Amino acid sequence: MKRRQFNRQLAGLMTAAAGVPLLSQCGRNNPASRSPILQKISSAEGLLELSLTAKAQTQAVARKSLALLAYNNQVPGPILEARAGDMVRLTLVNELDNPTNLHYHGLHISPEVDNVFREVAAGDRYTYEFQIPENHPAVTGWYHPHYHLRVAEQVFDGLAGPLIVRGALDEIPGIRQAEEALLVLKDFEPKLQGNFQTLSPLAKRWGREGSLITANAQQNSMVSIPQNGLLRLRLINASASRIYQLQLPEHPWFLMATDRGAIAEPTELETLTLSPGERAELLIPGSREPGNYEILSLPYDRGLSEMIEGMGKTVEQMPGIVRSEKRAIATLQYQPSERTAQLQLPKQLIPVEPLPEADISREFILNHGNDSSAGVTGFIINNQSFVMDRVNTRVRLNQVEDWHIINKASIDHPFHLHTNRFQVIKRNGQPEPFRAWKDTVAIGGYETVTIRVKFEDFVGRTVYHCHILDHEDQGMMGIVEIEA
């Protein structure tokens, strides 16, 4: 296992095994605050049944009261946990002033269920009913609204929660012995939330970001790690636009799973970059000198400098833009344990079989500009802005395709495909260091990424889009119809 750098390669989320407190008590000299234990709703006897009420309310975030939107009075929303094969019966109750719906980001289920075109009107409710496939991989996913034109606003205001599927990965002995924690990474902005200030045109174009950087709605959350044990840390980037570049200095950490489940073997990381929508699971051995170790969020430039220089200005002259700074996003705190010998990392996880060579390939060009057919200027894919009911791409069930995604813009546009998972084959002509199952991939300014996807199990209309949610709302989305 070589130490590797993952820039723009892999995605990342949150915590707590059943009955195990998510986070520990603060040490006396520790700056980190104690994180709330996220409520967890688990399936029982093969059924995950709940109602989820979306409502505007005041929530405490990083010791401030913010006017937010919450699921079941919580930001982030409760952790939903089920097993492969379970049934899900979820009633979404919309007590917002606007329409909404739900996207099950990370689940391989029919687009007729996971349907972004569905509208749950203000005051209405809708029951989602589906089975998680028996052969579904263990994943860290998340749920959030996907109602076009309101996605960025509703997610930025707090509507998002973790969705854990357990499967074969959870049965590996070394993984079973690990303690679990989960962090939902999200930024908030007191000036924007509750409509105290209107979003500036540049912030909308750029993608809204906030100055409060949180994990589970706390600044510098505490996560306990058992001395000589293993911590399985799930990370979810539930931010509307912010990209995190994470580092755990002076301490080893190993990637064990990406968006759609395990990789073949734990792989040591230097840094981990997570775009909005991406998830990662890390295995962290409690093998160092007991103490506190900070997970740092490093400054990350998603192309803003070039955009602002192009305007002949500086960041400080730009209203609504937050400069990216280095800070601790969470702190690992060693907890004494009875183990005298270090619990070993499993050598093997779950093989990631390569997809067969593609039957056909397509290009998707991401840019900013004018779509004369739709009569709009904004963010476009293949010169087209999103139009409801316009199918942009038709594919065949069980076909394998290579999609060359070409970013002709100077700013990052992380690309997300609904329903089916994919493998990243090449980035700027270079093969990826190892195979992984993904559903969201970082694409930096002027980069080209090739993904390989097999359209499996489900027919129907689904979407692909930029996961900077303001870009999606401004048209950077397309419809793919999967035909039998």
* Single residue of 222, 280, 283, 466 touching Cu ion by CB under 5 A: 466
Find all residues with CB under 8 Å of 424, minimum gap 6, and list them: 9, 432, 436, 438, 441, 449, 450, 451
Query: Binders of Cu ion: how many residues, by CB under 5 A?
Result: 4
Residue 68 CB, nearest distance to Cu ion (Å)? 24
The CA distances from residue 285 to 120, 224, 236, 328, 341, in Å, are 44, 12, 20, 20, 11
* Single residue of 41, 109, 468, 469 touching Cu ion by CB under 5 A: 468
Please say which residue, 223 or 243, places its beta carbon nearer to Cu ion. 243
Rounded distance between C-alpha atoms, residue 116 and residue 139, angstroms: 21
Please say which residue, 247 or 367, places its beta carbon nearer to Cu ion. 367
Radius of gyration of the chain, Cα coordinates, nearest whole angstrom: 21
Under rule CB under 5 A, residue 368 binds Cu ion? no
Please say which residue, 68 or 203, places its beta carbon nearer to Cu ion. 203
Q: Contact at 8 Å (CB) between 222 and 30?
A: yes
Residue 155 CB, nearest distance to Cu ion (Å)? 14
Please say which residue, 118 or 302, places its beta carbon nearer to Cu ion. 302
Q: Are strands 161-166 and 79-83 parallel, antiparallel or unpaired?
A: parallel
Residue 379 CB, nearest distance to Cu ion (Å)? 6
**Torsion angles phi and psi, residue 215, rounded to 5:** -125, 125
Please say which residue, 221 or 384, places its beta carbon nearer to Cu ion. 384
Please say which residue, 413 or 452, places its beta carbon nearer to Cu ion. 413
Element (H, E) at 423: strand 422-427
Residue 470 CB, nearest distance to Cu ion (Å)? 8
266-305 footprint of Cu ion as x/- string (CB under 5 A): ----------------------------------------
Instruction: Please list every residue from 71 through 110 that binds Cu ion, using CB under 5 A.
Output: none
* Single residue of 242, 471, 473, 478 touching Cu ion by CB under 5 A: 471
What b/e readout covers 132-160, taking b as 16+ CB neighbours within 10 angstroms? bbeebbbbbbbbbbbbbebbbbbbbbbbb
Apex 189 CA angle, 322 and 77, nearest 5:
130
Q: Contact at 8 Å (CB) between 66 and 193?
A: yes
Instruction: Please list every residue from 397 through 416 that binds Cu ion, using CB under 5 A.
Output: 413
Element (H, E) at 304: helix 304-310
Binding segment toward Cu ion, per CB under 5 A, in 117-125, 195-203, 310-318, 471-479: 471-479
**Torsion angles phi and psi, residue 83, rounded to 5:** -110, 155
Under rule CB under 5 A, residue 38 binds Cu ion? no
Binding residues for Cu ion, rule: CB under 5 A, are 413, 466, 468, 471
